[in-house]
Amino acid sequence: MAALDGLPPLRDVIQRHGLDAKKALGQNFLLDLNLTQKIARTAGPLDDVTVIEVGPGPGGLTRAILALGAKKVVAIERDARCLPALAEIGAHYPGRLEVVEGDALKVDFEALADGPTRIIANLPYNVGTQLLVNWLLPGRWPPFWQSMTLMFQREVGLRIVAGADDDHYGRLGVLCGWRTKARLAFDVPPQAFTPPPKVTSTVVHLEPVADPIPCSAASLEKVTQAAFGQRRKMLRQSLKPLGGEALLARAEIDPQRRAETLTVEEFCRLANCL
């Protein structure tokens, strides 16, 4: 990869710019350039695609995405220390890297989309799940993104792809199952990062479903939050604040069932009966 893009090895970049990963920012830098290429390839062909990346850090994944031919990368980075390293990548790929300094939770991503757009990111672990939920619940659907290829802690990845009767199934599994086709692509061991996290990470690839079951996102959030908030209890108990047995009767769902046994379709039915 270093030979492929003619830029210096990431370890040298990190040393030269004095970049140590900050725990407060949820940073773990990925230094293995073969791995960053594997992540970028998981997103599919990138020609004529705008890629949005969150938390590029020293730019290992950014370099892989650009080397694989993306039309443009828009990278959101809140750590000002990383900006000079990213500027060097921008100089190497003139006009193809736009860096937005700021907090990703406050960014209007739809405004950054330009033609076919994909999201590829090694997400900072402290905001990753919230960003995913925001991208799943935009104002309109189909969304501004064609696909999302995201790195999470493995535990979160399992929750994203989980379905009914799976121990990892919860609100996240319902939201992802409702609006996307999600799959686990591959695991990344702790030693691939600097500093190594305590857990294995995993790359998840999500593509939007063109016609999800018609349902209000706000109602679905309300129902899943109540149901999984007391996941070991029967639904007649956990859904009491939302109407309990009367709500379940309208949705034709047995009040003695528990949240983890309901399919995405059944959760949508509940939401539509609220």
pLDDT tens digits along 105-157: 999 999 999 999 999 999 988 899 999 999 999 988 999 999 999 999 999 99
Q: Kindly report the pTM of this predicted structure.
A: 0.94
β-pairing, 193-194 with 201-208? unpaired
**128 HSE (CA, 13 A, CB side):** 28
Per the CB < 8 A criterion, the answer to whether 182 and 160 are in contact is: yes
Is 18 a known ligand-binding residue? no
Tokens describing residue 254: 């047995």
Domain ranges of the chain: 10-208, 217-273
Is 98 a known ligand-binding residue? no
CATH number of 217-273: 1.10.8.100
Burial of residue 159, with CB atoms counted within 10 A of its CB: 0-12 exposed, 13-18 middle, 19 or more buried? buried
Which residues partner with 72 through β-bridges?
50
Is 126 a known ligand-binding residue? no
CATH superfamily of this structure's domain 10-208: Vaccinia Virus protein VP39 (3.40.50.150)
Is 103 a known ligand-binding residue? yes
Statement: residue 251 has pLDDT above 80: yes
Statement: residue 211 has pLDDT above 70: yes
Query: How far, CA to CA in Å, does 103 sit from each of 3, 109, 127, 149?
Result: 33, 12, 10, 20
Tokens describing residue 272: 């539509």
Is 77 a known ligand-binding residue? yes
Tally of CB atoms within 10 A around 111: 8
Amino acid sitting at position 165:
D
Is 30 a known ligand-binding residue? yes
Query: How far, CA to CA in Å, does 116 sit from each of 26, 48, 53, 135?
Result: 29, 7, 14, 16
- Over pLDDT 70: what percentage of the chain? 96
Q: What are the pLDDT digits (tens) for 159-182? A: 999 999 999 999 999 999 999 999
pLDDT tier, 11 (very low <50, low <70, confident <90, very high otherwise): confident
Provide the residue count of the chain. 274
Which residues partner with 260 through β-bridges?
none
Kindly report the average pLDDT of the chain as a whole number. Answer: 93
Q: Which of 18-32, 77-91, 153-167 has the lowest mean pLDDT?
A: 18-32
Tokens describing residue 269: 């039915």
Statement: residue 1 has pLDDT above 80: no
DSSP secondary structure of the chain: -HHHH-PPPHHHHHHHTT----GGGT--EE--HHHHHHHHHHT---BT-EEEEE--TTSHHHHHHHHTTBSEEEEEE--GGGHHHHHHHHHHSTTSEEEEES-GGG--HHHH--SSEEEEEE--TTTHHHHHHHHHS-SSSS-S-SEEEEEEEHHHHHHHH--TT-TT-SHHHHHHHHHEEEEEEEEE-GGGEESPPSS-EEEEEEEE-SSPPP--HHHHHHHHHHHHHTTTSBHHHHTGGGTHHHHHHHTT--TT-BGGG--HHHHHHHHHH-
Specify the pLDDT at position 25.
56
Q: Which of 12-21, 121-130, 199-208 has the lowest mean pLDDT?
A: 12-21
